Structure 1
Amino acid sequence: MPVMPINRHSVKVPNEIFLADPEFHKSSNVDILIGAEYFFDLLLMGKSRAPNQTAVLQETVFGWIFSGRHNSPQFSKQQAQAKNKVACNLMKFHDLPILWELREESSTKLRSDEEQAAESHFLQSTKRLGSGRDENSDLQTQYIDCVEGYLGEGHMSLFSNQEASRPGYYHPHHAVIKEDSLTTKTRVVFDGSAKTSTGVSLNDMFMIGPTIQDDLFSIVTRFRSHPVVITADIQQMYRQIRVTDNDRFYQKVLWRKNQDEPIKTYSLNTVTFADDEKDAFPEATKILKRDFYVDDLQTGAKTINEARQLRDELIRLLQKGGFNLRKWASNKPELSQDLSSETSNKYMSLEPSDTIKALGIHWGPKSDSMLYSVNLSDSNDRATKRSILSQCSKLFDPLGLIDPVIVVGKIIIQQLWKHQVGWDDQVPPEVHEMWLEYKKQLPLLNTVRYQRCIVLNSSIDSQLHGFCDASEKAYGACLYLRSTDNRGNHHCELIRSKSRVASLKTMTLPKLELCAAALLVQLFNSTIRSLQIDFSKKVFCSDSTVALNWINSPPHMLLTFVTNRVSEIQATTKPTDWRHVPTLDNPADCISRGQGPHDFLNNTLWTHGPQWLSCHENNWPQFDFKLSEVPEKRSPKTVVSFTITQAGINILIKYSNFKKLQRVIAYCVRFIRNLKIRVKTPRQMGPLLPNELNSASRIILKWTQYEVFSSEIRALSKGKQVDQKSSLFRLNPFLDDGLIRVGGRLDRAPIPESQKHPIILPKNHHVTKLIIRVELLKKLHAGTNATLYGVRETYH
C-alpha cells in the first residue's frame, strides 16, 4: 500500500500478468490485515523484476503483487521524507510487551540529520518582531468567542479569493473542554494530523526537530530539591509565534459564525527564544532552558529573595518575546500575592489553598505536599483487556512514588498477554478476581501525601542511597536522599523509583537481581543529572549475594549477559559503593513483589527508607558478605588477556611497494588465523585469495588512519563529533567498520558507495604515496580525476 499515489505509467507491468490489486498505485485505506503466520502460505513461485527497478512483482494465491521500493519521478524531496517518516513510524511501533522486555538504556542524546536540519531551518526562518511576540448553546457561544478572539488579536486573518485558491492544507478543528482549567474552559484545537486525499497529513511532512528542553522526570525531580518553589505557565504560548507568509497557506481553516454567513477561508498566522537576551538575563535564560516543560514552569531557589528576583527576571525576559507568565503559585504565599499590585490581572496568581496540577503532578502549595487523584469508572461493564489497560493507564506516576502499586497493574496486564486474551474477550477468572480486588482499593491512593521538598532546611550534607531487588514477577530500584542540617538532624526521603515486569522468557533470579542493579544505576545517572546537589556519599544496596559477587568481578571473566550489565554498573559506580542489605531492610522489595493500595498505605519502609538511615552513621548496622565463586563465569581456558604497547606501526614505512606490503600483512593474518583454528577446520594454504588481500588492505588503511587521526577515531567511536580544530571537521566524518569516511548528503545518490563516502587518507603519509603511485602506474597520463577514481574503486 503506497503512502502516496505513484505514477502508474512509471511501473512496467507485463500485460499477461493478473494483478491482485489492479489499482495498487493508489493510496487508500487498509481494508484488512493478514497475520504474518499466513504470509508464506500465500506466496507462489513466480517472481519478476523490471529493468532499472528495485521493486519486484511477486506471484501469490490472489494474483501478482507489486512490492518493494519504488522511486517515482513525481515524488518531491518533501514527499520522500514523508514516506520514509511513515515507514519509520511503522517500524518503531511497539506493543505493550515493552513493559517487560529487557533493553539497554542510553543517556547519550545524539541528534539525527533530520533534527539538525529542523533546528537549522527554524534558526534561519524566524525573527523577533517589534512587538516581541454544537447543539450545546453554551459550547457554541464559547467556541465562537474563542475563534473570534483569534481574529480580534490578529492570530487569524481572512484570505482573499485568489489566496484561498492556492494549494495548501486545511486544518479540521474542534472543541476541547477542560472543566478543571482555571482560565479557559473551552479551547479550539486544530488537527494537523488529519490525512488528506493523498493519504498524508501536514504533520507527516514536517521534519522532526531535536528535544531542546529537559525531560519531565528531571524537571519534577529538581522541583523537589528547592526549599522555595514557584510555578507558572505561559499564556497562549503558541499563539505568540508568527509564521512566515509562505507557510500560512498550510494553515488554512474554514469558518463562519452562523449558518446565515457563507463559509470563508482564513489563515492561522501563529504556530498552533532565550539566546537573544542571555546577556541581560543570565539566570532567567538558564531557567528558561532547564525548568520549562513546553509552557509550564517549575523552578525554585534557596531563599525567598532569590526566588523573587528569579520570578521578576523571568517576567521581563519573556515579555521581550511577547510572552506573558500567569497562574503563579508558590509554597511561600508572598511570592504570588505581591503580584496583585500590578494594574492589570495579566499576572494572575492562584490561591495558596488551591491544589495545582502541573506536569501531571498534583501539588498543594499551602501544605507543600504532592498528592494523587484517582478517578476510575464506576461502570459494571465486564472486564476486558481493553478496559483494564485503559483504567491502568490513568495512574500517572512519573517519579514512581507509588511504584509498588503501579507494578501490580503491570503484572495484571502481562498476565493478559500471557493468556493471549483478545482485546474485548472475557479475562480468565483468576485474573478477573485479581483485577477486581486491585480496582476496589485504588481510590485509597487519594489519601497518599508526599512531602514536596526532599532536603532539610539549612542542610550541610547530602547523601544518596539506592536499593534494588527482584522477584520472579518484577524487579525495581529506588533512590533516597539523606540530608543533615547544622544541628545534626538526619532526614531521609524517597526521590524516585523505577520498575520493570520480569520477562516472559524464563530467567534465573540472580540474573533478574543483576538487572535490578543495572536499573538502579540508570536511575542514579538520570537523577544525578537532574539534581544540582553535591553528594558526599553514594551507597547502593542489594540483598542478592550472587549479584554483588558479579559486581565485584572483572567483567571479562563472566558470560555475555552478565558481562554487559556488570560493565554498565562498573562504568558509573565502584564495587566498594555496593553493600549487602537484608530483605526486611530493603524498600525495593516492595516493588519486586508489588503491593495493593491497602498494604501500601501501611508501609512505613517505603517513604523514608530503613529506619537506620535517619540515624548517625555510627549506628548503622554492618551487613557484610563474603566474595565467593559465582555462576555464569567463563572457563579459565577461554580467557585470554593481552597487554599491548603502541610504539608506532613501523611496518607501514618498511616497504616501498604497496602490493608487497599488502601481501606481507595478508600472510601474517593467515598465519595468526591458522594458529587459532581447531583441528576440524582446514588450515588455509597456497596462494593468497582476493578476500585475504582486501582484508590486508583494510588493515593497512586502519593503521594509517590511526597514526594520524587517533584522537578523531576515539571521538567518533564514542559517538561524538571530532574537534572543531581538526582538519577533518568540515568533512563531517564518520566511522564505518573502524575506517573514517567522508560524510555528507549523498546517501541516496545513484553513484557507487566509494564515491558517496570515500575513505579519508592523510596527506603526505608514506602509505598514501604508495597508493597514488600504484594508481598512476595503472592509469599513466590519465589525469588527476582518473587517478582519484581508481583509488576510490580499489580501496573502498
Structure 2
Amino acid sequence: MRRDSQFVKSYIHEIDKYVHKGYARELCAEEASIVKPTTWYLLHFGVVNARKPDNLRIVFDAAAKASDVSLNSALLKGPVKAQSLVNIFFKFGQGIIAVAGDIQEMFSQVRIRVEDQDSQRFLWRGDDSSQPIRTYAMTSMIFGAACSPCCAEYVKNKNAARFADQMPKGVDAVQNKTYVDDLVISFNNVEDANKTIREAVEIISAAGFQLRKFVSNRKVLEANLNGSSNVPRPVINLERQATADKILGMFWNTTTDAFEFHFKFFNISNDILQCKRLPTKRELLGIVMSIYDPFGLLANVTIFAKFLIQALWKQSIAWDDELANHLAAQWESWWLNFQAVKTFSIPRCYSSLIPSADSIQLHIFVDASTQASAAYLRVKKEEAVKVALVCAKSTCAPLKAVTVPRLELQAAILGCRIKTLLEEGHEIRIDSTTFWSDSQTIILWVRAHARTFKPFVAHRIAEILTSTSPDQWRWLPTMLNVVDEATRAMPIHEFALHSRWFSGPEFLHQGEEWWPRETILTSDEYSNEEITSRHLLVRYRSEDRYDGELHADELAVAENCLCRLVQKEAYQHEISLVRKKSPLPKISSLYQLTPHLDEEGFLRVCGRIDAAYCLPISARRPIILPTKSHVTRLVVAPENTPPERQPYEERGTPTVLDTRNT
C-alpha cells in the first residue's frame, strides 16, 4: 500500500463508505475482546477491474484458511436459486422492446443477524502504521461468502412473492427475468414495458433494494424510466464473471439493438495477438477460454481453435511449447480472420414478426465428425418468413476412435438436449419442432420398431425418444446441413448475417413443398448397428424377394454399395469438395492422397502410380477406406476369412487404408 498513494486513498475511501452506509461497524474494546466459537476474522484485499481501472473493490476472502479451516467451509452453499443466464438471454430475444437495469449494491442491502456478525470480523487501521489496529465487523452480506448468492436471491424472491396477486407481471420480472442483480427483460409494446418495470421498481424497493440505471433500445422509454437521471451507456456489458482479470464479452448495443462481440485478452502477450510469435498450448487454451459465447453463435468459428488444441494433445505437446510448424499457418489464418468479429453484430430480437406470427417453428440440425447441433427459429406471417439462429453447440470428437454412426448418435442426443433447453428458456409458442440429420442410420434407428440394439445405441435411442417422437426426425443431404460448418476445420469464415450459418439454410426461407425429400427406406432391416451384404441387396433385388445362395455379381453390387456408404459417412466433406473441384484443407486425412471420384462414385487415389499403364485402372487408382471401419476389415479379408468374402482380392481391386482417419 505504501508504494501506491492512489491505491491507499481508494482503499480508505471504500472502508469509510462501508462504515458510513452501515455495511460495517467498529467494535468497541469490550466487544472485540469477546471470542466465541463462531468468531472469525476475514482477510481483505483490493481488486482493480481491468475494464474500470479507477474503481477499486474490496474483497473479503471467506475462502482463506487458518489451520485448514475457512469461513466458507463452515457455511452451507444452499440451492441455486438464480435464473440460468442462458434462459434469461433466450427470453431477452423474444420481444421487440428491451430493457435492462440493475439492483444497487444488492448483497450489501441484506443485513446479517447480530449474533452472526461476529463471524465477519476484520482488522483495519488506515494508512498510519503508528495507529492501533481496530476491529470491525461486517453487518451485511459479503460477496465472497458461499451462502451469499442463495441468501440474496431468496430475500429478493420472498419479498416479490408478497405482491403476486396485486402485480403479477412485476413479480414475474423480479423472479424470472433477473440474473442475480441485473434485470434483463423484453416486451412487445411500450405500455407493457413501462407498467411492468414500474411494478418491479416498487416490489424491489419494498425489500430495501433500489432498481436503477435503466437502458433500452427505446430512448424515450429509457428517459421515462430513469426520470431526471442521465445514463449515457449505449453499449451494455451483460457479462457476469467473478474473476476480475478475466474479461469476456457479451455486449448489447442499444442504438442498433444488436449483440456485439468485444474480446480482450489481458493475459496474452501482444506478440501473440499481433502474430509475431506462435502461442504455446497454454496460451492457445487461454485464448479459446476467453471467448465468451454463451449461445454458441460463433461455434462454426471457434471449433477450429478447438481442433488445434486437440491436435496438440495428440502430438503430446507440452504446456509451454509453441504450436508445431505445420499448424502455424492454420493458426495465423484463423486468428487473422477472427479479428473480423470486432465489427460483427447480430440482432438481439429473433424477429419482429413474433407477436403476430401465423406459425413459429423450431428447427434443430445435428451432425457428427465433431458433435454439433444448431437451432433456428422459423417465424412465418402470411408470405413473410424470418429465420434466426437461436443457439448452437459443438464439441470435438473424442481422441478414442468412435464409429461415425455413434458420433451421429451423440450429435442427435446433443440436439435433443438443446431442444429441452430452448423449451424451458422461452415463453413464446412453438408450434412444431423438427430435427434434421444427414445420417440415414440415425433416422432409421429412431424409426425402427424392432429394438435389437447394442447397449450403447439402445440407451441413447431411449433418451432421444423420451423427448422427441420419430415423426419429428427428417433426413437431408449433407450439402444442405448447415451445422456441417461447425464440424469442419475451416480456418476462414464469413462474418455476415446473410451467411447460411446465421440466417439458416435456404430451404427454410421457402415453402415446405421445397424442403428436402427423403430418399431412404424405412425398414427394420436397416435398424441393426451392423449392416450386412444381404440386407443391402434388398435395395437392388426385385420386389419378389427370395432365399438361397448369393451370386458373385450380387455380392459385388452389395460390397460396392457398402464401400460407397462407408466413404460417404467418413468423407462427406472431402467428397463434396472433390465434386466441386475445390482443394482439400491440409488438415484433412486425405490431403496427401489427392483423391478423385470415378464414374461409379468411388473415392480413389490419384498419384504417380497412374503412369504404370501395364496395370489395370483399378490397381493404379485404388479406392480409399477408413482404417477403423468394420467394412474395411471385411474388404481387406484377413487370412482366416473364407474365400467367398474375398471378392476384391479376386477382382484385383486394391484398397488404400486411410490410416490417419480415426
Match of 1:148 among 16, 20, 26: 16
Match of 1:331 among 217, 223, 233: 217
Aligned to 1:267: 137
- Equivalent position amino acid for 1:384 in 2: T
Structure 2 contact 397–407 (Cα < 8 Å) conserved:
yes
Match of 2:484 among 575, 586, 589: 589
1:162 shift after superposition: 3.3
For 1:199 and 1:434, how far apart are their aligned partners in 2? Answer: 48
Match of 2:235 among 343, 354, 378: 354
For 2:494 and 2:226, how far apart are their aligned partners in 1? Answer: 45
Alignment of 1:173-322 (within 5 A): 173-178=44-49, 180-181=51-52, 185-196=55-66, 198-259=67-128, 260-272=130-142, 273=155, 274-276=157-159, 277-279=162-164, 280-322=166-208
Q: Deviations over 1:370-392 (max 9, x none)?
A: 11012344234653222111121
Q: Deviations over 1:566-604 (max 9, x none)?
A: 111111111111111112211110111144354455981
202-211 or 602-611: bigger deviation:
602-611
Mark the CA change 1:222 to 1:602 in structure 2 (over 3 Å): closer, same or farther.
closer
Alignment of 1:19-168 (within 5 A): 134=1, 135-165=3-33, 166-167=35-36, 168=39
Mark the CA change 1:555 to 1:434 in structure 2 (over 3 Å): closer, same or farther.
farther
Structure 2 contact 97–188 (Cα < 8 Å) conserved:
yes
Q: Deviations over 1:354-405 (max 9, x none)?
A: 3444445211011011110123442346532221111211101000000011
> 1:564 and 2:459 equivalent?
yes
For 1:175 and 1:382, how far apart are their aligned partners in 2? Answer: 34
Mark the CA change 1:220 to 1:263 in structure 2 (over 3 Å): closer, same or farther.
same
Structure 1 contact 405–600 (Cα < 8 Å) conserved:
no
Q: Deviations over 1:626-677 (max 9, x none)?
A: 2243365499xxxxxxxxxxxxxxxxxxxxxxxxxxxxxxxxxxxxxxxxxx
Aligned to 2:259: 370
Structure 1 contact 242–271 (Cα < 8 Å) conserved:
yes
For 1:202 and 1:597, how far apart are their aligned partners in 2? Answer: 50
Aligned to 2:288: 392
Aligned to 1:467: 365
Match of 2:500 among 605, 619, 628: 605
Aligned to 1:758: none
For 1:441 and 1:205, how far apart are their aligned partners in 2? Answer: 49
Calculate the aligned-residue CA RMSD, in Å: 2.4
Structure 1 contact 580–623 (Cα < 8 Å) conserved:
yes
Identity across matched positions, percent: 28
Structure 1 contact 230–298 (Cα < 8 Å) conserved:
yes
For 2:335 and 2:530, how far apart are their aligned partners in 1? Answer: 47
Structure 1 contact 404–594 (Cα < 8 Å) conserved:
no
Aligned to 1:540: 435
Q: Deviations over 1:404-448 (max 9, x none)?
A: 112222222222322333322344333444434333332221122
Q: Secondary structure at the match of 1:213?
A: coil
- Equivalent position amino acid for 2:360 in 1: S
Structure 1 contact 173–191 (Cα < 8 Å) conserved:
yes
Q: Deviations over 1:604-629 (max 9, x none)?
A: 11001111211232333424422243
Q: Deviations over 1:430-470 (max 9, x none)?
A: 34444343333322211221111003333232111110111
Q: Secondary structure at the match of 2:202?
A: helix
For 1:143 and 1:497, how far apart are their aligned partners in 2? Answer: 44
- Equivalent position amino acid for 1:369 in 2: A
Structure 1 contact 470–476 (Cα < 8 Å) conserved:
yes
Alignment of 1:666-677 (within 5 A): none
- Equivalent position amino acid for 1:451 in 2: P
Q: Which runs of 5+ in 2 are unaligned?
A: 143-154, 241-248, 532-662
Q: Deviations over 1:163-194 (max 9, x none)?
A: 32425222222222235459x82221211111
Mark the CA change 1:631 to 1:420 in structure 2 (over 3 Å): closer, same or farther.
farther
Q: Deviations over 1:80-132 (max 9, x none)?
A: xxxxxxxxxxxxxxxxxxxxxxxxxxxxxxxxxxxxxxxxxxxxxxxxxxxxx
- Equivalent position amino acid for 1:607 in 2: F
Structure 2 contact 444–527 (Cα < 8 Å) conserved:
no
1:289 shift after superposition: 1.9
Q: Secondary structure at the match of 1:556?
A: coil
For 2:518 and 2:494, how far apart are their aligned partners in 1? Answer: 27
Q: Deviations over 1:10-63 (max 9, x none)?
A: xxxxxxxxxxxxxxxxxxxxxxxxxxxxxxxxxxxxxxxxxxxxxxxxxxxxxx
Aligned to 2:318: 422
614-623 or 531-540: bigger deviation:
614-623
For 2:99 and 2:282, how far apart are their aligned partners in 1? Answer: 39
Aligned to 1:627: 522
320-329 or 547-556: bigger deviation:
547-556
Mark the CA change 1:433 to 1:203 in structure 2 (over 3 Å): closer, same or farther.
farther
For 2:114 and 2:72, how far apart are their aligned partners in 1? Answer: 19
- Equivalent position amino acid for 2:182 in 1: D
Mark the CA change 1:309 to 1:432 in structure 2 (over 3 Å): closer, same or farther.
same
Mark the CA change 1:594 to 1:520 in structure 2 (over 3 Å): closer, same or farther.
farther
For 1:403 and 1:517, how far apart are their aligned partners in 2? Answer: 17
Structure 1 contact 555–567 (Cα < 8 Å) conserved:
no
Q: Secondary structure at the match of 2:213?
A: strand
Mark the CA change 1:382 to 1:609 in structure 2 (over 3 Å): closer, same or farther.
closer
For 1:421 and 1:145, how far apart are their aligned partners in 2? Answer: 49
Mark the CA change 1:602 to 1:327 in structure 2 (over 3 Å): closer, same or farther.
closer
1:244 shift after superposition: 1.1
1:317 shift after superposition: 0.5
- Equivalent position amino acid for 1:425 in 2: D
**4+ residue segments displaced more than 6 Å:** none
Structure 1 contact 456–484 (Cα < 8 Å) conserved:
no
Q: Deviations over 1:244-297 (max 9, x none)?
A: 122212111111222143221101110012334233432222222211111111
For 2:526 and 2:321, how far apart are their aligned partners in 1? Answer: 46
For 2:337 and 2:312, how far apart are their aligned partners in 1? Answer: 20
- Equivalent position amino acid for 1:161 in 2: A
Aligned to 2:547: none
Q: Secondary structure at the match of 1:326?
A: strand
TM-score, with normalisation over the residues of structure 2? 0.70
- Equivalent position amino acid for 1:157 in 2: R
For 2:347 and 2:490, how far apart are their aligned partners in 1? Answer: 21
1:555 shift after superposition: 7.1
Match of 1:549 among 434, 444, 453: 444
Q: Secondary structure at the match of 2:364?
A: strand
Q: Which has the larger radius of gyration?
A: 1
Structure 2 contact 107–140 (Cα < 8 Å) conserved:
yes
For 1:499 and 1:534, how far apart are their aligned partners in 2? Answer: 27
> 1:510 and 2:405 equivalent?
yes
Higher relative contact order (CA 8 A, sep 6+): 2
Structure 1 contact 559–634 (Cα < 8 Å) conserved:
no
